[in-house]
Structure 1
Amino acid sequence: MSTRRWRPAGVSEERLSRPRVREAFRSARLLVGCYVGLSALTLLAIILLRNHPDLVTDAVWVRATIVVVTSLLMASFAARAARGHRRSYLRLRWASGIMVVAIAAIIAVPGAFPLWLKMEQGVCGLLLAGVFVIVHGKQLRAAFAER
């Protein structure tokens, strides 16, 4: 007995194959990939510097772990959105905006995090701002518009 799994309608292959849409997703996925890589490298640096309490605080551990998890989620959203999944596209739009705001708050709060982490978060924020601009751009909005 074969069971069919219900799957919501996605975006047509015709819309996804447009050169500008493909290029937009390529750029967004590259930026998200850089975010994943930087987040993983930061966590590795924290592990290596764990015996330096002036550089690695409990707040740094928590923030870095959250960032790695969210970066992997965003990579999943970007990959699925590029395959035409509307909900993943919406999640990518929301997550990129929320993360940029969260990073701005991290940078703005005085004394909560060491300067090196704020600088790393600034780079992450720039990467995600690029994702935000791309996924809110005309090409992708048109591709995912309900018709």
Structure 2
Amino acid sequence: MSPRRTHPADRSPHASLDHPRTRKAFRGAKLLVGSYAGLSLLTLVAIILLRKHHDIVTDAVRVRAGVVVATSLLMASFVTRAARGHSRSYLRLRLASGVMLVVIAAVIALPGAFPVWLKIEQGVCGVLLAGVVLIVNSKRVRSAFASR
């Protein structure tokens, strides 16, 4: 017996990626991820410009900035593809945004591991990613990918 396939007409019109509210949700997610990527890139530029100030730019800061820029660019790719209906990119976006939010919380909570300025920057990144996590895990967006 083959698995039951749902016909597009069987799906709720409100669950579609083409529904205006779903498109609006993805526009918001794209804006937040884009802001996260932009802030991450600006931070990397600041680190490069301040590289001679070893009290401000430590090895941990350099490594962290590189990881954040890489993940922000990956998330930009994921959100763009997910908005077009790519279910694996949607799953990757959900996972990456959630994991990075937890990691950011750890960076902020660790005493002495990172300078205060980076913790503040990471706090802003965390707020942006919290918005992404809320959007991509909303009932509306999840239902758009439920039958895919």
Alignment-derived partner of residue 47 in structure 2: 46
Question: Structure 1, residues 79-113: CA drift from partner, whole Å, max 9, x if none?
Answer: 00000000000110111110000000000000000
Shift of 1:16: 1.6
Alignment partners' CA distance in 1, 2:130 and 2:96? 11
Shift of 1:138: 1.1
Residue 56 of structure 2 is aligned to residue 55 of structure 1: yes
Percent identity between the two aligned chains: 70
Alignment-derived partner of residue 17 in structure 2: 16
Alignment-derived partner of residue 139 in structure 2: 138
Q: TM-score, length-normalised on structure 2?
A: 0.89
Shift of 1:135: 0.2
5+ residue gaps in structure 1? 1-11
Secondary structure, aligned partner of 1:124: helix
Aligned residues: 135
Shift of 1:139: 1.0
Shift of 1:118: 0.3
Shift of 1:75: 0.3
Residue 109 of structure 2 is aligned to residue 108 of structure 1: yes
Alignment partners' CA distance in 2, 1:109 and 1:128? 19
The 5 A counterparts of 1:50-129 are: 50-129=51-130
Alignment-derived partner of residue 32 in structure 2: 31
Secondary structure, aligned partner of 1:16: coil
Alignment partners' CA distance in 1, 2:56 and 2:134? 33
Question: Structure 1, residues 64-89: CA drift from partner, whole Å, max 9, x if none?
Answer: 00000000000000000000000000
Alignment-derived partner of residue 9 in structure 1: none
Secondary structure, aligned partner of 2:37: helix
Find runs of 4+ consecutive structure 1 residues off by over 4 angstroms: none
Superposition RMSD in Å: 1.1
5+ residue gaps in structure 2? 1-7
